[in-house]
Each structure stands twice: as structure tokens, then as C-alpha cells.
A and B are shown apart, each in its own frame.
Chain A
Amino acid sequence: MFARVVLLVMRKDLTIEVRSREILYTTLFFAVSCVLVFAFAFVREGEPLGDAAAGILWIAIAFAGTLALGRAFERERHAETLRALMLAPAARPAIYVGKLLGILALLFATELIIVPLVALLFAAPFFSRPLLLAGLLVSGTIGFAAVGTLFAAMLVRARSRDVLLPVLLYPITIPVIIAGVRGTAALVQPVVDPAIIVMLISLLVAFDVVFLTLSLWTFEPLMTE
């Protein structure tokens, strides 16, 4: 039953998205513009500064992620469909997981484009260790989206939600972004030390576990009116 609800909610979100492709296109465009803006700040005389690529990548992901989160729930607010979802005889945590998986699918799709783009534009050897890179991206994105989905869902009913989402989300997820940036920066060093990256991935996984547990646990009382 739990898995069925999760799949149904996710399928609903993805179907809407596949039909309109609104979030994917706007998020992707926004992420690319972010990269462009940073290119002006961190490139001197045609050469990118040291570890800039790692930072640019994660900031682009975080900003684009915020945009996607906001949009995904704005859609639910429009026709009061979130209320309908909450009224459905389904476990609240299952609804949360379904929304989370939908957001994650979108973010991973964005990363599929953004990561090679940043690697190409900033001559960063991201793909020297594809498995470690994937580990960082997956664990980092899950941590970010876990908190993001919870807060975006809570904020649906709040006033000035567009402003409050980043206000709530960034301070709490910055540890995730820091670990992600550090890990990615270690990945582009001339000599890669896998031990550091594995340590950061395990830190990210620890964050994921804490954030997911807390989110699953607080989603129900938070979404009850």
C-alpha cells in the first residue's frame, strides 16, 4: 500500500511534468544562467580559478533545486490539489516520499545536463572518478531535496512562501552543500584522494538519514490543519 501510494504520487507529478515540461525547462535554463553569471566572477583572463567549478556546480544545483521545489508545490496550490492529496486515504509519509521522488527525478535530470556543462566550460575533470562523483551528487541531492520537499510542502499555505523557502532551506542545507562542494573540489585535484571523498560521502549519507527520518516523522503533524 505504502509503495503503491508513493508510485502513484510520483507518477502523477512526472506525468504532469512530461506533458508540460515546465519545471524541467525553466530549472535547466535557470541553472545554466547561474553558471554563466559565476563564469564572470570566477574566470580571470580565460582561466577559471582553482576549485571554482565545484562551487559553481553545487550553487547552480541548489538554486535550481529551490526553483523546482517552489514550482512543484505552487502547482499543487493552484487547484487546491494538495488538500485533495491530504484528504486521500493514504499514509502521509507515503505522499511525502512520492513528492520527494518526483523532485529527485527532476533534479537528477537537471544534473545530467549541468554537470557535463560545468565540466566542459571550466575544464574540470569531474569524470575522472565517475562512481565517486555519482555518490556525491546522489547523496547530496537527496539531502537537499529531503528538507526542501518538507519545507516547500509546509509553505504552500504560508504567506510570502517564495521568500521563505530559501530563508528556511539554505541555512539548514548548507552543511550538505559544503560537503558536496568539498567532495567535488577534492575530485578535481591533480592527485585525487578517494579517502577524503568517501568520508564526505558518508557524512552526506549521515545527513540524508537524519533529514529523511526527521522529515518523515514531522510531515504528518506539520501537514495536519
Chain B
Amino acid sequence: MRKFFAPLLVLAILLMVVAPVLIAEAPYEATMGLIQKIFYFHVPSAMMMMLSVFICGIWSIIFLLKKRPAADHVAVTAGELAVVFGLFVLVTGPLWARIAWGVWWTWDVRLTSYFLLWMIFVGYLLVRKYGGPGSDKLSAAMAIFGMANVPFVYVSVDIWRTMHPKTTVVTTLGEGMAIPFWFCVFAFLVVYSLVFVSRLRLEEQRARVEQLFLEASDI
């Protein structure tokens, strides 16, 4: 993990310096104007959260079935990042909605279901922290059920009438917007990987210290 850190850090800094320039140069959206540009951070954050949710869920399944602590380390890292990136989404969303819809928040299906998904992963972290011994398994179950909720979240926009833009908006972007958008997605992916490897290493170190402590107290 360590050898990835430096190159990822350099790449992440570079991308994050270029991203605002590209976003500033991108064409203005006809009706929303400047505020639409928040979309370049909002949507990639949401994508990273979804990625996190799946990583957390799948590695939780592996952990439950194979009982390998390494899988649990990956799951807890992804679980934390899901909450962090979910928070980005929940902060940037209302900022945009205040201008576009005139309200900070509306109890729309999409918003509600996303908020719920985020709550599930906050619950995941709470269980980990306060569940005591055996909380790794408890939280793994939470993550699996959280992942099972994703299809309902994703489909919700397309089934129910909702104010939130549909997910198809991404594939129908004009070239002027598509390039900065996918650049931002890539930049977020790199930042995500950077934080991921650092946090994963931290978790592994923590587990090792715990192991050493247990061995030492046996003597």
C-alpha cells in the first residue's frame, strides 16, 4: 500500500489543481447558470459514495463467509469513505437546490432515499465504534443490508416522479461539459484511492498494534 501513496498524492494534487480551471472554462448551463457548476463535484462525490457502498458491502460478504480480517479492514475503510463522500453530496446538493429549486431540502424520493443510504452507513460506523466485541460482524451485516438498498435508491429516480435530475443526464452531456465532468470523475477517483490506501494502511496498523498488545498481555 505504501508504494502507491506518493504517486497517488502527486497525481491527486495535479488533478485537483487543474479541475477548477476546467470547470471555470466549461460552458454555462442555459437556465441555471453558475450554480450548475457544483454538479462537477456533486455527481463524482455521489459516484464515489456508491463505489464505497459496493466495496463495503462486497468485502463485508467476503468477511462473513471467509472470516478474513483483511476483508474487514477494506470494508471499514470503504464504510468510512462512504460517509465522507456522502456528506459531500449532502452538502453540495442543498447548495445547488437553494438556487435551482428555491429550497435547501425537499422530501423528494431521490433525496430521501439517498439520505437513508447515508444514514445506514453512519449507523455502520456507530455500530463499529460502540458495538463492543463482535461489532465487526454486526457492522458487516449492516453493510450488506445497506448495499441491498442501493438498487431501490438508484431506480427510485426513474420510477417515481421526482424533482431531482435523472441519472441519464450524465450520458447526454454536450462535449463542453462532458470533458470537465469526466475529468472531475477521474480526479475524484484518484483522491478516493489516495484516501483509501492511507486509511486502509492505518486500519492494518491499528489491527497489528492490537494483535501485539494481545500477545504482550498474554505473557
Residues of A within 8 A of B (CB): 147, 150-151, 154-155, 157-160, 163-164, 167-168, 171-172, 174-175, 178, 210-211, 214, 218, 221-222
Contacts and interface: CB of A to CB of B under 8 A. Distances in A.
A199 B176 CA distance: 41
Given A158-B135, A167-B127, A222-B64, A151 B141 contact: yes
B186 to A, nearest CB: 31
Contacts of B48: none
28 contacts: A151-B141, A154-B137, A155-B138, A158-B127, A158-B131, A159-B132, A160-B130, A164-B130, A164-B138, A167-B127, A168-B123, A168-B127, A168-B138, A171-B119, A171-B120, A171-B122, A171-B146, A172-B120, A172-B142, A174-B116, A175-B116, A178-B112, A210-B148, A214-B145, A214-B148, A218-B141, A221-B137, A222-B141
Cβ-closest 3 pairs across A and B: A159-B132, A171-B119, A171-B120
Interface string B111-153: 0110010011011001100111111011011101110110010
Instruction: State the majority secondary structure of interface residues on A.
Output: helix
Interface string B147-165: 0110010000000000000
A154, A171, A174, A175: residue with the most chain B Cβ atoms closer than 10 Å: A171
A171 B112 CA distance: 11
A172 B145 contact: yes
Given A154-B137, A175-B149, A175-B152, A168 B116 contact: no
